[in-house]
Amino acid sequence: MGQVINIFFINISIIYLVLSLTLYLMRQLLPIQTGSPYAVRIWFGLAMGLAAVLLTVNSFQVGEARVDLRIIPLALSAAYAGPIGVTVTTGLTLLGRFALDGMTEQFVSSFGTLGLFLVLSLGLSRLVLRRGHLYSAYLVFGTVLVLFRIAGNVPMHAFTTVFLPYFAITFLGGWMCYWVAKQIETHLRMFRLHTQRATIDELTGLPNRYMTLERLNEVEMSGLPWALFVIDVDRFKQLNDTYGHRAGDAALHHIAQTLQANCPPDGFVGRYGGEEFLMVLEDVGDVRSIADDIVTVVRDTPFSFEGTTIPMTVSIGATLAGAEPGTVVFERADAALYQAKMNGRDQAKIG
């Protein structure tokens, strides 16, 4: 019995490893559920199929039965990825069994068992159940199928020395795997959320001040020519006072989207603070022409708030970076912006 328990714990470790790596690699796609895109469900099914194949390799024979914990990745695939995921997992599981045993009676029996499990997933997928309840149903049904399949194919004493531990570890290990999967999924989603909040400006969707300066520093350290545009929304306080702060927020979002849509492919835009934005170009072209084009496109892109069209313009201070530090480049661009403001706004000045 000790050897049996040892192999089962190896099985559990394999499931943990594959499941953890899968959720980490798919962290940008979480949560994985039956309504996820087809590609996501297929990839999850492939990962659980890989786990099932590894479990098959690490299984052991009891009479004519091959014993392992393949039902756990099958149940995970069905609960997370639905019929599509479990179909992929089932296919890989059968391929693994065929590669080990060939076309034997046990393979045909496994084919029938997995086919019944797939039919169950098709039926349960039509019901509105919580994922935990679905997983429980798959785990119980799959274990019962295993019990019926091995009945008559193993000696009676094996039920006490092998299959009682098998059922106990299947349910205990199955729920441990599901609990771990939930914890990993929650952790990765919260990490992604906190990372996004730390680097992305929630109002505009652009990189925030911290992220913008980080990327600007990377460009500066590259040693390649680059240009900096400091962009300020004209008469923004007046807009806030006239139409309210909700209109001001909508205007900043509008400006941000306009700048991002018209930023050259080799550059990026970030919100520096308040109504001020930075645009950094890495492959420097005609700085004046690009700056003038941005001023024009902002002026000509209509902004409407609650049925009212509000004119929007920006002033730009632009400069071409030489070998000086980024702080010096920023001061020169900021001085050019001040000139643009003093000369009547809605224009670009090159410093």
Query: Two tokens at 136?
Result: 């429980």
Q: Say if residue 276's pLDDT is above 90.
A: yes
244 and 170 within one domain: no
Catalytic residue list contains 282: no
The distance from CA 35 to its chain's CA centroid, rounded to whole angstroms, is: 15
Q: Say if residue 327's pLDDT is above 90.
A: no
Residue 333 counted as domain residue: yes
| End-to-end alpha carbon distance in the chain | 80
User: pLDDT tens digit string along 85-113?
Assistant: 888 988 888 787 777 666 665 556 666 66
Give every CB contact of residue 335 below 8 A, 6+ residues apart in sequence: 317, 351
The Cα–Cα gap between 26 and 44 comes to: 9
Q: Say if residue 156's pLDDT is above 60.
A: no
The Cα–Cα gap between 245 and 237 comes to: 9
Q: Which of 198, 221, 249 is the last residue of a domain?
A: 198
Q: Say if residue 221's pLDDT is above 60.
A: yes
Q: Say if residue 1's pLDDT is above 60.
A: no
Residues of the domain holding 135: 2-198
Q: Say if residue 115's pLDDT is above 80.
A: no
pTM score of the predicted model: 0.63
User: pLDDT tens digit string along 261-270?
Assistant: 999 888 899 9
Are 344 and 295 within 8 A, CB to CB?
A: no
213 and 177 within one domain: no
- For CA atoms 298, 299, 300, 301, give the dihedral sign: positive
- pLDDT score, position 291: 92
Q: Say if residue 10's pLDDT is above 70.
A: yes
- pLDDT score, position 189: 85
- pLDDT score, position 56: 80
> What CATH number corresponds to the domain at position 312?
3.30.70.270
Helix (H) / strand (E) containing 271: strand 267-273
In order of 46, 127, 289, the CA distances from 130 in angstroms are 23, 9, 57
Which of 105, 214, 275, 324 is the catalytic position?
275
109 and 17 within one domain: yes
119-133, 146-160, 196-210, 330-344: range with highest mean pLDDT? 330-344
273 and 182 within one domain: no
Q: Say if residue 155's pLDDT is above 70.
A: no
193 and 66 within one domain: yes
